[in-house]
Chain A
Amino acid sequence: DIVMTQSPDSLAVSLGERATINCKSSQSVLDSSNKRNHLVWYQQKPGQPPKLLIYWASTRESGVPDRFSGSGSGTDFALTISSLQAEDVAVYYCQQYFRAPLTFGGGTKVEIK
C-alpha cells in the first residue's frame, strides 16, 4: 500500500498569513501515461464530511477560493493557503488515487494563532 505522510500534525497561523501543509507519499503517484499526479486535497470542518479542494495535485475544484493552491510532483506535495481566513480553520487531508487502496494522509489541523 502507498503510505501518505502529512506534516505538521497541527499548524497555528495568524489571520492573513500563509499556511503550508506537506504531504509525502511512500512511492511516486505520477502517472507516466498522462503526466499527472494522482493526489487530492480535502478540507474537513467539525461535524461535516470532507470537502474537495484540489485534484491532480494542483487543479482547484470549482468554487474553491484561489487562496488555496496545490503544488508538487512525484512523492512530495504541498497545500498552501496564501492568506489564512477564519473560515479556513479545519483539518486538511491529502489522498492518493494512483493505486488501490486509495490511502489518506493522517491530517493536519489548521488553527488561528
Chain B
Amino acid sequence: EVLVVESGGGLVQPGGSLRLSCEASGFTFGSCWMTWVRQTPGKGLEWVANIKADGSITNYVGSVRGRFTISRDNAKNSVYLQMNSLRVEDTAVYYCARSGRRDGYDGWLDRWGQGTLVTVSS
C-alpha cells in the first residue's frame, strides 16, 4: 500500500522557522518527483514546491522562493520542506504528494498525505 505521511507542523511566530517532513512507503520513492501543496483553511489549493526524483531539480512558487527549501533523502524515503522567515500568510495545511508520471518529468499528483497544519501567529 502506498502511504505518504507528513509531520512537523505546529504553531510558530512570524519570522520563525519550521521543517516539515514527509515519509513515503509502498513504492519506489527514488523514481518519483515529490511535491508540497498547501491549503489555507476554507480556501483553495496552492502548489508550493517540487523536487525531481534524484534531487537535481527544484521549483518554487514565487511567494516562497528564497524562504523555503525543498530537499529529499532517498535512502530514508523522505522529502522535507524547510520554511524560514515565516509569515502569517503561510498559515495553511501542507500536503505532501507523489507525482504519477514515470518518464522523468513531473505531472499529476496521484497519492497525497493527510496534511500537517502550520500556523504562523504571534
Contacts and interface: CB of A to CB of B under 8 A. Distances in A.
Interface of A: 1, 38, 40, 42, 44, 49-52, 55, 61, 93, 95, 97, 100-107
B114 interface: yes
Contacts of B37: 50, 104
A107 to B, nearest CB: 5
Contacts of A49: 95, 97, 112-115
Q: For this complex, into which size category does the number of interface residues on chain B fall? A: 20 to 34
A101 B44 contact: no
A104 B107 contact: no
Contact of A40 (B46, B62, B107, B114): B107
Interface string B92-122: 0001010010000011111011110000000
Contacts of A100: 50, 59, 106
**Majority secondary structure of chain B interface residues (helix, strand, loop or mixed):** strand
B3 interface: no
**Majority secondary structure of chain A interface residues (helix, strand, loop or mixed):** loop
Given A38-B107, A40-B108, A101-B60, A50 B45 contact: yes
Contacts of B62: 1, 101
> 8 tightest A-B contacts by CB?
A100-B59, A49-B112, A55-B108, A40-B108, A101-B61, A104-B45, A107-B44, A102-B47
13 contacts: A40-B107, A40-B109, A44-B45, A51-B112, A52-B108, A95-B45, A95-B108, A101-B47, A101-B60, A102-B47, A102-B59, A105-B44, A107-B45
Contact of B108 (A44, A97, A101): A97
